[in-house]
Structure formats: C-alpha cells, structure tokens
Copies of this chain bind each other. A is one copy, B any other.
Amino acid sequence: VKVTKETVAENRTHLVQAAARLIREKGVDGVGVAEICQAAGLTHGALYAQFPSKEALAAAAFDEAFEHSFSKLTASAQKNGASLKSYLDFLISARQRDNIIGCPLTASASDIARRDEALSSSFAEGFERMVDAIEAVLGRNNGELGSRDRALTIVAAEIGAIAVARAIAKSKPALSNRVLTAAHRVLGSLEGEQAPSRSAKRRKT
C-alpha cells in the first residue's frame, strides 16, 4: 500500500523513536525488529523499505536518542544557570537512572564495544559533545588538573555511576542511591576555581 510522502516520513520517525526507546530499555539484542515495528504501528517487513538492516536502524536510533537527550540536558542546565551543579543535577539522579529513554551513553556503554564501528563513532561523537558542554562550565584551575581532564573524567564517571546504579538497583537499592549521591558530590568538587574573568581583571586595574 503506497502512502503519502508525509506518512513515509512520519513512519520513519515513529520507527526510529520506537527503536530508540526499546533499545535503550532492552539492548540491541534484547529487542526484535517485529517488536520495534509493532511499537511504531507497522509490520516487520516495512522496516526494510527504510533501512537496509536492523543494525542501521539501531545506529539511527542511537543518534536520535542522543540528540533528544542532549537537547533536554542543555535546556535543563541553562534554565538553572548552566553550572556544573545544574548538569550533575540532571545527569546523576534517580530520575536519570530509572528513565526509560535516558541518555544513550549510559544505556549502552559496554554494549557498544562489541558492535559495529558506526555505533562506536556515534558514541564517540556524543561523548565528546558532552565533554565539551561540561568543560565549558568548569573553572580553569583545580590544583594541577586541567579543565579538559576534569571534563573527560566527569562524563566517564557519570556514565559509570549511572551504569552501576542501574546494575545494583534490583539487589541493593540503598547502595544504588548512595552511589548517585556520592558521585554527584565528589564530581561537583571538581568544578575548580574560575580564573578571574577579563571584566573582573579590568575592574582591578
């Protein structure tokens, strides 16, 4: 049944969004194409009119999920002043841990290493964007630690903290919460002192 161009685009969007949600929830191997297509309101055969394979859909879903998550992050952080604390409030929280359609970085970190290079590239790009965003709100000095090193560590640590918190949520919920609050507090301490801004310097002289 041929459909309008509009419908084609809508169907593709539904497909990608359904894939993003289900893959985040169950993993790439944990969800079938039939289930994804059904969630998108289509039959499983329809997928192959839009994508050459399940893996290609997964890559598109990953990009989509990252875009969505990143825009929510920056919106939330900027509303609250774009400080390191505002980012951490969003990223390291029970809400993020329990969120079905949360950040794809945290959902599939250890999965990615075993998949196509396309997914590795997607992941790396998303990771770098996140690191850039964090670095932008860090002070320049923190002992001998540069802002880039701290930003890289904060993002990697956030990913680890959420992954751990999710992994142990079933068996040790209290410890899971503790990991989140500890990581939030400790990573927050890496903000560093802001080097005097140019306007502040000018005021002094």
Closest residue of chain B to A28 (Cβ to Cβ) is B29
Instruction: Let me know if A26 is at the binding interface, CB within 8 A.
Output: yes
In the complex, A136 has a CB within 8 A of chain B: no
CB pair A124–B29 under 8 Å, yes or no, is no
State how many copies of this chain the complex holds: 2
Contact partner of A30 (CB less than 8 A), chosen from B114, B121, B183, is: B114
Q: Does A15 contact B (CB under 8 A)?
A: no
Q: Which of B117, B158, B175 contacts A170 (CB 8 A)?
A: B117
Query: Given that A110-B108, A120-B168, A163-B109 are contacting pairs, would A178 and B152 also be in contact in the complex, using a CB cutoff of 8 Å?
Result: yes
- CB <8 Å contact, B27 and A145: no
Q: Is A34 engaged at the interface, CB distance under 8 Å to the other chain?
A: no
Tell me whether A150 is interfacial, beta carbon within 8 Å. yes
Chain B residues with CB under 8 Å of A30's CB are 29, 114
- Chain B residues, CB < 8 A from A150: 182, 186
List chain B residues, Cβ under 8 A from A153.
Answer: 157, 161, 182-183, 185-187
Q: Tell yes or no: A172 within 8 A of B by CB.
A: yes
Chain B contacts for A164, CB-based, 8 A: 109, 127, 155-156, 159
A124 touches B163 (CB 8 A): no
* Assembled-state Cα–Cα distance A178/B114 (Å): 21
CA distance A27 to B168 in the complex (A): 18
What are the residues of chain B within 8 A of A166 when measuring CB–CB? 110, 112-113
For residue A153, which residue of chain B has the nearest CB?
A: B186
| Cross-chain contact B172 with A161 (CB below 8 angstroms) | no
List 18 interface pairs A-B (beta carbons < 8 Å), by A numbering: A107-B110, A109-B160, A109-B163, A110-B166, A110-B167, A120-B168, A121-B171, A123-B168, A124-B168, A124-B172, A127-B167, A144-B189, A149-B181, A149-B182, A150-B186, A157-B160, A158-B160, A160-B161
